[in-house]
Chain A
């Protein structure tokens, strides 16, 4: 966890939507100028509510869509340049999706599905099949029983194991897990989380772990990035984000987690209402409309990501020196 393996700078993704005939063109600001690093060997968790841009970020990282602006550097080389072609990059970064069924080809046996990627990347068929069988054993599915089966013959948990095996078939450095355990039953989810931890140790992987389940993110992640309406609200060590967050939104999010204590139930919701629409985000700090600590300046000035503690950055005017918020620290002389 020393050097950044993946560096994201000024990443923007706007989706155009049909405006009126003469009206202004509208866009959904799904990801709006974000920057972060993924360190070698870490698990970076991404949390936030629907529409905050976490899945769009995952798809941009995987280069499944072109960003509106910004760049991604892998191990210091810019993706999509002669230094690092997209094909080569995709060998290093793989992804597991939420819907285990939709992401497998129903007409391929699972062995062929896993071997498909390596074959495309030039591995001879025999070797690719051998690799697939190895991986099946690694994800806990007996190759002699499972290799010839089709996706519909498997349970959800087993299919997700196949997707994980397929993601690993190219021997990537980074695996992006976009709600990869969210569709699984709780009793099966724990098995798959254990598997992910085992594989990470064995193959020295780096994970980007996206989930709406905060308990699971906390358990899996070394660092956590909190997103709100296309922006990074806060990024820092997992414990700090959950136990001692700087951003009022991170605090509200963690306080929204069910208590698990019938004698101390939650009696007041930390936030009222739903997140605003990313088509027309509020000016200034995007969270100010729901924030109990907001002041006049929050509606005018957009906070920038500021270092608040070691390895811990937050985009809140309360932490930004000289921002004009009454709680802001003074500017260092």
Chain B
């Protein structure tokens, strides 16, 4: 490979040490993101998807978090950045949007002020120019009557408009990577699809790389080129969205897709649910963390962690039993 990927995460481990027992949130994540690519990280609560995202901006509380491994973004070693460089890095190289825009925005400043401030701080220049750029951003994220909306405080906007404003803020300094942490989960269905389409459009327009965390596979399908499925702090399967959807190879991904209620089901038909519950991160089972819930588990699965197995072009599954999950040739 001649050009290294834009984002390169290698053997990342994140452990929270604040409590009585260390919480092993991330246990060896390897992840890369190319320029202009959209990757969805799919997982349930506690799978480590948000922690991975936060680790990229070093947002996890430094004193109570042990981070091992390496994170490189555009050649910069993120874990080695000094506090000045880290400040410049956040928002400039990588920026982030959150689930709750009401909590992520500052309630006492207008949105125009918040965006202009970010631009002035990062790029220098005059407030007038920054404000012009803020207006331009509001137009790009399709906020109606943008000029007037710049003078709004966050509480004066609806949930969908606030999410658009937060996206404008995140794009203020032309970052190379946009991290999205369940940005549509708190939104209504008709608003969610608008924001998903907006993310897709902006991604094309700005050529930005997007890492999109979600628990909803339907959302992942709408935005992503590639999916990484997380479970128990590891990526258990990754591949192009079509392959994951049509030919999943990890028993967890297979179970997740099968347990979904969908339109084609007959009334009263029971769902094919995965038994048990997600693992306790303070007390992870040895070996594959899905083994206790897995129909295909062998004794070996509880002894050591499987390495990723290539099951297709760019499609990896971390499982000892991939031969058993191979699609039967028709």
- Residues of chain A at the chain B interface (Cβ within 8 Å): 49-50, 155, 157-158, 185-191, 193-194, 197-198, 212, 214-216, 218-220, 222, 242, 252-253, 256-263, 265-275
Contacting residues, chain A, for B218 (C-beta < 8 A): 215, 257-260
What are 5 A-B contacts defined by CB distance under 8 Å? A194-B270, A216-B261, A266-B197, A270-B193, A275-B190
Contacting residues, chain A, for B219 (C-beta < 8 A): 258
B217 and A212 contact, CB distance less than 8 A? no
A215 and B260 contact, CB distance less than 8 A? yes
A258 and B262 CA atoms in complex are apart in Å by 11
Contacting residues, chain A, for B189 (C-beta < 8 A): 49, 212, 214, 253, 256-257
Contacting residues, chain A, for B265 (C-beta < 8 A): 219
Q: A259-B222, A260-B221, A265-B221 are in contact. Are A186 and B260 (CB under 8 A)?
A: yes
B270 and A186 contact, CB distance less than 8 A? no
**Nearest-CB residue, chain A, relative to B161:** A274
A50 and B45 contact, CB distance less than 8 A? no
Q: Which of B9-17, B53-61, B273-281, B306-314 contacts A (4 or more CB under 8 A)?
A: B273-281
A259 and B190 contact, CB distance less than 8 A? no
Which residues of B, 143-170, contact A by the 8 Å Cβ criterion?
144, 158-161
- Residues of chain B at the chain A interface (Cβ within 8 Å): 44-45, 144, 158-161, 188-194, 196-197, 215-219, 221-222, 241-242, 245, 255-256, 259-263, 265, 267-268, 270-275, 277-278, 293
B215 and A262 contact, CB distance less than 8 A? no
A187 and B262 CA atoms in complex are apart in Å by 14
- From A155, A252, A265, B190 is in contact (CB under 8 Å) with A252
Q: List 19 other contacts, CB 8 Å, given A157-B277, A158-B277, A187-B293.
A: A49-B189, A186-B215, A187-B255, A187-B277, A190-B259, A190-B260, A191-B275, A193-B273, A194-B270, A214-B189, A215-B262, A219-B271, A256-B192, A258-B218, A258-B219, A266-B196, A266-B222, A274-B158, A274-B188
**What is the interface of chain A mostly: helix, strand, loop, or mixed?**
loop
Contacting residues, chain B, for A222 (C-beta < 8 A): 267
B194 and A272 contact, CB distance less than 8 A? yes
Contacting residues, chain A, for B160 (C-beta < 8 A): 273-274
B190 and A219 contact, CB distance less than 8 A? no
| Shortest Cβ gap from B296 to chain A (Å) | 16
A104 and B196 CA atoms in complex are apart in Å by 36
Contacting residues, chain A, for B188 (C-beta < 8 A): 49-50, 212, 274-275
**Nearest-CB residue, chain A, relative to B224:** A262
B222 and A49 contact, CB distance less than 8 A? no
**Nearest-CB residue, chain A, relative to B273:** A190
A260 and B44 contact, CB distance less than 8 A? no
